[in-house]
Amino acid sequence: MRFPSEPFKIKVVEPIRRTTREERERLLQEAGYNLFQVSAASVYVDLLTDSGTSAMSDDQWAGMMLGNESYAGSKNYYHFEEAVRSIFGYRHVIPTHQGRMAENLLFSTVVKAGMCVPNNIHFDTTRANIEHQHAEALDLVIKEAYDPQCELPFKGNMDLVRLEDVINRVGPARIPLAMVTITNNSAGGQPVSMDNIRRTRALLNRYGIPLFFDACRFAENCFFIKEREPGYTDTPMPEIARELFGYGDGCTMSAKKDGLVNIGGFLSLNRDQWAQDITNMLILVEGFPTYGGLAGRDLEAMARGLREVLDEDYLRFRIGQVRYLGELLNNAGVPILKPIGGHAVYLNAKEFVPHIRRDEFPAQALAVALYREYGIRGVEIGTVMFGKNDTATGRTIYPELEMVRLAIPRRVYTNMQITYVAESIIDLYRDRERIRGLTLTYEAPVLRHFTARFQEAPCATAR
Specify the residue, 303 or 407, whose C-beta has the smaller distance to ligand P71. 407
Least gap, CB of 329 to ligand P71 (angstroms)? 20
Assess 254 for contact with ligand P71 (CB under 6 A): yes
C-alpha to C-alpha distance for 60 and 297, rounded to whole angstroms: 9
Assess 214 for contact with ligand P71 (CB under 6 A): yes
Specify the residue, 356 or 370, whose C-beta has the smaller distance to ligand P71. 370
Least gap, CB of 181 to ligand P71 (angstroms)? 5
Q: What does DSSP say about strands 136-139 and 178-181: parallel, antiparallel, or unpaired?
A: unpaired
Assess 119 for contact with ligand P71 (CB under 6 A): no
Rg (C-alpha) for the chain, rounded Å, is: 22
Specify the residue, 341 or 437, whose C-beta has the smaller distance to ligand P71. 341
Q: How many residues bind ligand P71 (CB under 6 A)?
A: 17
C-alpha to C-alpha distance for 67 and 156, rounded to whole angstroms: 38
Specify the residue, 254 or 279, whose C-beta has the smaller distance to ligand P71. 254
User: Given the rule CB under 6 A, which of 119-127, 268-276, 300-308, 354-362 is the region that contacts ligand P71?
Assistant: 119-127
Q: Identify the CA nearest to 357 among candidates 439, 453, 442, 452.
A: 439
One residue of 265, 292, 296, 339 binding ligand P71 per CB under 6 A = 265
Least gap, CB of 173 to ligand P71 (angstroms)? 26
C-alpha to C-alpha distance for 341 and 41, rounded to whole angstroms: 28
Specify the residue, 93 or 167, whose C-beta has the smaller distance to ligand P71. 93
Question: Exposed, middle or buried: residue 29 (CB in 10 Å: 0-12, 13-18, 19+)?
Answer: exposed
Distances (CA, A) of 103 to 128, 217, 245, 432: 10, 15, 17, 40
Assess 51 for contact with ligand P71 (CB under 6 A): yes
One residue of 226, 256, 323, 436 binding ligand P71 per CB under 6 A = 256
Least gap, CB of 434 to ligand P71 (angstroms)? 28
* Contact positions with ligand P71 (CB under 6 A) in 5-44: none
* Contact positions with ligand P71 (CB under 6 A) in 294-353: none
User: Given the rule CB under 6 A, which of 1-9, 117-125, 220-228, 411-419 is the region that contacts ligand P71?
Assistant: 117-125
Least gap, CB of 206 to ligand P71 (angstroms)? 27
**Residue 389 pairs with which residues in a beta bridge?**
396
C-alpha to C-alpha distance for 35 and 444, rounded to whole angstroms: 16
Least gap, CB of 163 to ligand P71 (angstroms)? 19
Assess 290 for contact with ligand P71 (CB under 6 A): no
Least gap, CB of 449 to ligand P71 (angstroms)? 8
Least gap, CB of 354 to ligand P71 (angstroms)? 27
Least gap, CB of 52 to ligand P71 (angstroms)? 7
Specify the residue, 123 or 274, whose C-beta has the smaller distance to ligand P71. 123
Contact 156, 229 (CB under 8 A): no
Distances (CA, A) of 418 to 218, 335, 421, 423: 24, 17, 5, 9
* Contact positions with ligand P71 (CB under 6 A) in 178-197: 181, 185
| Shortest-Cβ-distance residue relative to ligand P71 | 99
Least gap, CB of 49 to ligand P71 (angstroms)? 3
C-alpha to C-alpha distance for 323 and 29, rounded to whole angstroms: 33
Assess 218 for contact with ligand P71 (CB under 6 A): no
* Three-class secondary structure assignment of 369-422: HHHHHHCEECEEECHHHHCEECCCCCCEECCCCCEEEEECCCCCCCHHHHHHHH
Specify the residue, 163 or 180, whose C-beta has the smaller distance to ligand P71. 180
Least gap, CB of 295 to ligand P71 (angstroms)? 16
Q: In the chain, how long is the greatest CA-to-CA distance?
A: 67
C-alpha to C-alpha distance for 56 and 218, rounded to whole angstroms: 18
In this structure, the number of other CB atoms found within 10 A of the CB of residue 365 comes to 26
Distances (CA, A) of 137 to 107, 193, 249, 427: 11, 22, 19, 40
Exposure string of 94-116, with b = 16+ CB inside 10 Å and e = fewer, is bbbbbbbbbbbbbbbbbbeeebb
User: Given the rule CB under 6 A, which of 118-126, 325-333, 367-375, 414-422 is the region that contacts ligand P71?
Assistant: 118-126
Query: What are the residues whose beta carbons fall under 8 Å from the beta carbon of 207, sequence distance 6 or more?
Result: 167, 172, 175
Least gap, CB of 26 to ligand P71 (angstroms)? 25
* Contact positions with ligand P71 (CB under 6 A) in 398-417: 407
One residue of 167, 197, 211, 216 binding ligand P71 per CB under 6 A = 216
* Contact positions with ligand P71 (CB under 6 A) in 62-101: 98-100
3-state secondary structure of 444: coil
* Contact positions with ligand P71 (CB under 6 A) in 123-162: 123-126
Which residues in this chain contact ligand P71 in the complex, by CB under 6 A? 49, 51, 98-100, 123-126, 181, 185, 214, 216, 254, 256, 265, 407
